[in-house]
Amino acid sequence: MPQSKISGKVAHEATKHSYLSVQIDPNYVDAATQPSAFKVYPKFYRRVKLNLNNPVHSFISLTSAITLEKAYKGGLDKLRVNPSAGALYPTEVYIQIRGIQGIVNGIYHLEVENNCLTLIYELIDDGLDSYIIPTKSINGFIFFISCVYYRSSWKYKNRSIRYCWLDSGHHLGAIAASAYIHDKDVQLVFDFDKLALNADLGFENKEFITACVIVGEVQEKQVRRLRLKVPFVCGTDYFEANQFIEAGYQITALQQSRQQQLVHPQFHFDKEKFFQTVWNRRSIRRFKKQSTLSVVEPTISQENYLHILQHLQQPIPTENFEEVEIYSVVHRVEGMLPGLYKGMHLIKAGNFSEKTGYLCINQAIARDGAVTLFFVSDYINYQTAMQIAGFLGQRVYLASNFWEVSCSGIGAYYDDETQEFLETNKDILYAMTIGI
């Protein structure tokens, strides 16, 4: 499809699931062909091993840390603080660091597998600041999220354009969570010169920047763009191009998002418990049953459910914005009628657990969880909207787990039938289930 024909709306329409499409293409892949999930620069690059007893190092590490290793299908899965569709982890993190004691001013790649920073470019009078905020410089950190899209498109093909952006939003949420634990404010930025940045960071067509996070002091100072390009290093051991994803990314990278005033959220979590929540976050895929004769149907308290909703209503710290609304299908919340809700407003009453299970392509977690959430939007910029949906999804993960409510994201559902059930014309961006 020509690039000029791929708007965000077209990309969404072209990647919809239906009952028929899933039957025609059940999406089986050979796990032995999975591309590598970690990008590593050559061994001669200078590295800084992250020491978790150092608060700055701890802040950086917790944005992306591996928290569990487990055997899976003959291999070893390395699960991280940030959730990912199919545990494929297409996202990478780069950090510009300036003015931080003990760290050379430069652009670093966060090497997750080895818990270290790799210096890929040393700053002099240049930097990445002017790609984002012309005429200003940032003293502190700028985190950049990129997607090595083939890690996801290997399995999910064209629909992985959605999952790359959702996973980018998840990763933004992980950065925000680490910043909160370490008493730092963040600003998310979605609208900037991504294409020039991709070129200067040496990504070719195999990786692309999706968003950045400013953590530091913004100063009135002109910083020139990079004096040299960063050498190309591939983020996978092999690669197959997908023209649909590349064109969809490029056209949405050029579109402006809606704008809003920057407002920071105000959270009041116990930070030690919140740290443990971040570290122990998991996507739940199987249900616990007491016995083969008695299945325990999960129920959550209305108090905990309200805590989760209130957490979602906190401001998103960005000037570039797309509104994402959330519908809740309540199956089992103490003191609430089962039915479809928007916030606490009941739209229609009824037991819709079988319906939500069906809509989410017959996934048991959507049917059997206490609440299934659907994220919808009438967006201008699809790339931004999907990332905000992922960012909110990470909030759901952490708030639910903090209140000891299990949670899982759901990226696959019958798009048009879900819209019909919710009685909305807005596109369905994401689904989640809590109380599993």
CATH among 3.90.700.10, 3.40.109.10, 3.40.220.10, 2.60.40.420 for 27-254? 3.40.109.10
Question: Taking the CA atoms of the chain, what radius of gyration do you get in angstroms?
Answer: 21
Write down the domain spans for the chain: 27-254, 272-434
Average pLDDT over residues 59-68: 97
pLDDT given at position 2: 44
316-347 pLDDT, tens digit per residue, is 999 999 999 999 999 999 999 999 999 999 99
Nearest to 120 by CA among 90, 150, 97: 97
Say if 27-254 and 272-434 have the same CATH topology.
Answer: yes
Q: Max alpha carbon distance in the chain (Å)?
A: 69
pLDDT given at position 26: 80
- Average pLDDT score, the chain: 94
17: DSSP letter: B
CATH class of 272-434: alpha beta
pLDDT given at position 28: 87
Average pLDDT over residues 184-212: 98
How far CA 259 is from CA of 92, 220, 322, 430, in Å, comes to: 26, 22, 8, 22
CB within 8 Å of 268: residues ≥ 6 apart: none
343-384 pLDDT, tens digit per residue, is 999 999 999 999 999 999 999 999 999 999 999 999 999 999
Top pLDDT among 246 and 285 is at 246
